[in-house]
Amino acid sequence: MKIEIKEISKLPSFIFVLFGIQLIVFLCLIIKREKSDWEIFYVLLPVTMIFTFLKMTFIINAELLQYKLTPFHFSYKKIMWKDVEAIKISKIDALSDFLGWGVRYSRKYGWSYIFNSNDIIFLKLKSGKKITFTIKNK
């Protein structure tokens, strides 16, 4: 029997609300002005859409760990357990440790995929690379 743990994470809900409000405010400002600056809207709409569809899929099984950040990764990135030197599960605060959510870089944690959770799994690979993922079910 093959045991597999799969988690799907998205950004916190309030970020969607902030982007929605920002989009509406800019749209109202553009419509009110005589000379429209639609360039702002054309930039803001795709950014809002990317954040709306942004999701992290994280799969762990006995052989390897896989992750995919949709819409940026088209296939799963794989880390074999034999390549992992150390693993640690701990708690973080996204704002104080990483200055926000999303894909972040930290000297302490390396490349980090920070989403809607305070629990992380920190991997130090034998190559020296560090990767951190937020997890919901530790």
pLDDT-above-90 percentage for the chain = 25
> Has residue 37 got a pLDDT over 80?
no
Pick from 1, 128, 117, 113: which is nearest to 65 by CA?
113
Mean pLDDT of 81-106: 88
- Looking at residue 36, its pLDDT comes to 64
- What's the count of helices (H) and strands (E) in the chain, helices before strands? 3, 9
Domain of residue 37, residue span: 1-137
- Looking at residue 86, its pLDDT comes to 93
99 pLDDT band (50/70/90 cuts)?
confident
Strands (DSSP E) contained in 13-101 are 55-61, 64-70, 77-80, 84-91
Give the chain's domain count.
Answer: 1
Residue written as tokens 């693993």?
A: 87
Strand bridging mode 119-125 / 84-91:
antiparallel
> Has residue 98 got a pLDDT over 80?
yes
60 neighbors 5 (Cβ within 8 angstroms): yes
CA-based R_g, the chain, Å: 18
- Looking at residue 75, its pLDDT comes to 92
Query: What amino acid occupies position 124?
Result: K
pTM: 0.74
In the structure encoding, which two tokens stand for residue 14, read together?
């309030």
> Has residue 114 got a pLDDT over 80?
yes
* Neighbouring-strand partners of residue 55: 70
